Structure 1
Amino acid sequence: MNSGTSTVEKTPVLTLTCSPAVALAAVGLVAVKDQMDALSRSAAGGAIVGQIFPDCRTYRTLDPHSFAAKVIPFYWYARSKRLSNSSTTRYLALVPTSTVVGDSWRWSPAHLNDREQEKVIEKAFSAFAASSPERAESECAQYTHIRPLGLVLAHEGKNRVALFKERQLAHIPAMVWDEEYVAPERLRIFELAGTCLAVLDGRFVERVVALHLVRELVEAYGVEVERRWPEDFAELKQVLHDLDDSSTKFHYLPYATDMDKLRLDAACHDAEVEATLLDIGAVRFPPLRAFLHAAVALLLLLLGVGLCARRWPDMQLVLATAAGALGMLLIVPVLPLVRCKVRYLKDSERMRHFFELRHHRTRAQQRAAADLGS
């Protein structure tokens, strides 16, 4: 560690640009993650953590970025923006230990004796001293700094975080890159009966897995937790159904419902189209044998009309009228004589009309957007 002392001393401490209230809340969230990691080191403790994150395996810790993606609303969205930007600037800094989310997935301080702990710390500083913003040595820590939230997520060098905290070392030397987060005015959070939801830009909706873990942080950031679902949003029941529909997503990828899509789907389901009685789901007809009997009766009536043509013209008129009425009864169900909302049609017809309407309306929206951009 002495070989890199001068380099480390000249390295600036990471500057936290968030407000003091946000920084304090971030440190509290980091402390909670540390406690969860400690619990996860035993089977019983892992089961407790599993109650908060039921889709994660117990008896293990959550890596920092997965933890952030699960508890921070739409963190994955902000991260995807950073990952799509190949010109991200990296720099060397001394990172305040209390702000770092680590992950002792391979070893914890209890697994090392004093000499081994000293070697880990010495290696951390020497690798840092030998690194540059262009190239990080293999043992140099590499961390993500979420600037607006004052949180630092360990990427490389996750295990050592607990050791630095146990030794009460104020800073961890690391290669750092900054990430942004969605502005507070773009984000709304709702605590409703039985669920918590986050809404981005009034359009995208995702579940908030553990609002009690991040409430202090999001409120300090300027996002008020609301308790009433806005009337101008898509219907809550429809939003929850889409979020719960496992066919629309993979469990290992973040998923957000698009309310614009839900509104479009609802409009297509509520559109009226021409339909036959056979197409309408609520219409019930007699069994097939009744139609067969009616068809036989129609043939007999037509035969009777032919036989009565010369001798009994009055009877012919009666039989012809009956045949016409019976023929109309048989043909009316297959004629498109009614208008019905798409949602009330039988499955096959409903899906056919729905996709046709959705295709046409999507094309119309795309043309309107192109006209506005021209």
Structure 2
Amino acid sequence: MQSTDQRLLELPFADEPPPQLHQAVTALVRAKAIVDRLAQGGLEDRALAAKFGQLGGEDGTSFFKETFPFCGRWDPLGASDLRNVPLDLTMGHSWRWHPEHVAQEKRAALLERFLSCTDGTERAVVCWIVPLGLFLAHEGKNRIEFLRSEGATHYPALTTPYDYPAPDRLALIQVPGPHGDEWWAVLDQDSIEPLRYPEWSLPILTAYGVSTTKGWPEDYPPYATVRQEVDERSRRNFRPLGEAPVSLKDLQAKEVKAAEEVSTSLMDLPGVRLKRGWKRAMATLVATVMVAILVVQPPLHEISILSAGLGGALTIVVFLFGEILAVPRASKPKSWQV
């Protein structure tokens, strides 16, 4: 919807999302502005902001990358251009100054300056998540709240478009947990990420048209396996843009491989070992037989007895160390797996 504000420059207007998504994005922008103020407030306000993952407040791009799944490599969708950007869909970040910091007699001049600035160091720059209709102020993020407080509906900004996965490529999984529901996002029925702050992202993703499944799907790898992989990455300080998301297909392949039967010996099994006394006894038996045959050269009937003893010893060795057992691959020590 284009503004009728006569103060606006003759620039193209950025496209806006459908009504339901527009409403959800507007609510997100308002809530983010409120929490930003809390993050700059007193001890109790900052504690409340921390509950929403806003320890010291975050700019729009950092907030988006941390809150929404599958942001990708953050490559522009196309060239940047100057547009009139809707303020109700723009996420700012008043980290340096707030509207009340501007004296009343200076407000009109500052408003005019911001609404006419199209170049130079004061030019605003925004990242436009086109499919979601969300604008993230990058340069000029402090002015957003001031412009809203002065009744402006749009403002000029150098706008860079970015893509986001289509809703039919995404799926939301709701899993009951010990401390409330846990939410996961799946891309192309393969990549999976937890929603770190579902209270922020769920209303947008739902309005965007992403479907929700309640309960862990039976055709997925076990929930504990996925959780373990995600936790392992978290311990390695995993960041969404620093490593590929967890792949359900890769985990399923690992599960299948772990269930394969492989050959092993009794001595390869975890926790199985031969006592030292038996090792000595077997070595002594073999050595005695060999010495008796090669050095003493006993009569033929005694050689038969010694050979039987040697054969028995070899049978025991084969039983203990030969790979005559079949076990699941996961049960075999990793040092022996190929």
- Give the TM-score category using the shorter length: 0.7 to 0.9
Alpha carbons of 1:158 and 1:257: their partners in 2 closer, same or farther (altered >3 Å)? same
Letter in 2 for 1:63: D
Cα offset for 1:226? 1.8
Match of 1:134 in 2: none
Match of 2:89 in 1: 99
Match of 2:261 in 1: 272
Is residue 2:162 matched to residue 1:173?
no
Cα offset for 1:345? 1.1
The alignment partner of 2:173 has SS state of strand
Cα offset for 1:266? 2.2
Match of 1:237 in 2: 224
Question: CA separation in 2, counterparts of 1:259 and 1:38?
Answer: 40
Alpha carbons of 1:299 and 1:117: their partners in 2 closer, same or farther (altered >3 Å)? farther
Question: CA separation in 1, counterparts of 2:52 and 2:269?
Answer: 45
Alpha carbons of 1:229 and 1:253: their partners in 2 closer, same or farther (altered >3 Å)? closer
Question: CA separation in 1, counterparts of 2:260 and 2:116?
Answer: 68
Contact 2:9 2:156 in 1 (8 A): no
Task: Pick the aligned partner of 1:202 from 182, 189, 192.
Answer: 189
Matches within 5 A, 1:297-336: 297-303=285-291, 309-310=298-299, 313=301, 316-336=303-323
Question: CA separation in 2, counterparts of 1:287 and 1:45?
Answer: 66
- Percent identity of equivalent pairs: 23
Cα offset for 1:301? 4.4
Question: CA separation in 2, counterparts of 1:70 and 1:227?
Answer: 24
Question: CA separation in 2, counterparts of 1:215 and 1:247?
Answer: 22
The alignment partner of 1:199 has SS state of strand
Is residue 2:246 matched to residue 1:257?
yes
Contact 1:127 1:138 in 2 (8 A): no
Which segment is superposed worse, 114-123 or 103-112? 114-123
CA root-mean-square deviation: 2.7
Match of 1:29 in 2: 28
Matches within 5 A, 1:1-374: 8-16=8-16, 18-42=17-41, 43-53=43-53, 58=55, 60-74=56-70, 76-77=71-72, 80=74, 82-83=75-76, 88-115=78-105, 117-118=107-108, 120-128=110-118, 131=119, 137-194=120-177, 195-246=182-233, 250-254=237-241, 256-281=245-270, 284-303=272-291, 309-310=298-299, 313=301, 316-350=303-337, 353=338
The alignment partner of 2:196 has SS state of coil
Question: CA separation in 2, counterparts of 1:190 and 1:90?
Answer: 35
Cα offset for 1:299? 2.4
The alignment partner of 1:62 has SS state of coil
Contact 1:291 1:330 in 2 (8 A): no
The alignment partner of 1:245 has SS state of helix
Cα offset for 1:224? 2.4
Cα offset for 1:152? 0.9
Question: CA separation in 1, counterparts of 2:262 and 2:203?
Answer: 51
Aligned residues: 326
Gaps of 5+ in 1: 132-136, 354-374
Deviations 1:57-104 (A, max 9, x none): x2x111101111222232x12x63x43x5xx23222222211110112
Stretches of 4+ aligned residues off by more than 6 angstroms = none
The alignment partner of 2:158 has SS state of strand
Question: CA separation in 1, counterparts of 2:99 and 2:9?
Answer: 26
Alpha carbons of 1:168 and 1:8: their partners in 2 closer, same or farther (altered >3 Å)? closer
Cα offset for 1:149? 1.5
The alignment partner of 1:31 has SS state of helix
Cα offset for 1:155? 1.1
The alignment partner of 2:51 has SS state of helix
Question: CA separation in 2, counterparts of 1:206 and 1:292?
Answer: 55
Letter in 2 for 1:156: E
Question: CA separation in 2, counterparts of 1:97 and 1:6?
Answer: 16
Which segment is superposed worse, 216-225 or 269-278? 269-278
Name the TM-score, length of structure 1 as normaliser.
0.78
Name the TM-score, length of structure 2 as normaliser.
0.85
The alignment partner of 2:117 has SS state of helix
Which segment is superposed worse, 23-32 or 294-303? 294-303
